[in-house]
Amino acid sequence: MNKIELKFSAIIENEPFVRTAISAFILPLNPTLDELSEVKTIISEAVSNAIIHGYNYDSSKDVYLKAKITENLLEVTIQDYGVGIENIEQALKSSFTTRPDQEHAGMGFTIMKTFSDKFDVRSQKDIGTRVTITKIFKKHYQEVQ
């Protein structure tokens, strides 16, 4: 097992850094370009949600990420201690958003769920939100003939 933890300021400029850090972290799994792209998209969506929706761009707050690799399985948890989600069932519906002024509003959870092998979101109003995703990487090797 390998694991990392990151704590970073809730500023949108940190999203590319976190996406790149996770990309580097999963390289030993020898991901395909599609797998790598999917993980980067999941991370982008989760981090952006924490910053935009959880903290409303409050740069004095922190976002927390934990990731671990066990064999060919990646588990990532992204946590904020922001406003929380009052109705998770509603929030998981495609196109639901609390920020209709944002581009691609309402698709974040749908995208994360689509690209994950397992997806879980836990939230409490005024306490925060925790998103956990699991991604299984296929074993990539060439058969010797």
Whole-number pLDDT of residue 142: 44
pLDDT band at 98 (very low <50, low <70, confident <90, very high): low
Query: How far apart are the C-alpha atoms of 119 and 102, rounded to whole Å?
Result: 23
Please write the tens of the pLDDT for every residue from 104-143: 565 788 889 999 999 999 999 999 999 999 999 987 654 4
**pLDDT greater than 70 at residue 144:** no
**pLDDT greater than 80 at residue 92:** no
* pTM, to two decimals: 0.86
CATH superfamily membership of 2-136: Histidine kinase-like ATPase, C-terminal domain (3.30.565.10)
Whole-number pLDDT of residue 130: 98
Whole-number pLDDT of residue 82: 97
Helix/strand/coil for 61: coil
Query: In this structure, which amino acid lies at residue 120?
Result: D
- Contact 29/137 with Cβ under 8 angstroms? yes
Q: What is the DSSP string of 73-118?
A: EEEEEEEE-SS--S-HHHHTSTT--S-TTSTTTT-HHHHHHHH-SE
Whole-number pLDDT of residue 110: 84
Please write the tens of the pLDDT for every residue from 27-82: 999 999 999 999 999 999 999 999 999 999 999 999 999 999 999 999 999 999 99
To the nearest 10°, report the CA torsion of 88, 47, 81, 124. 10
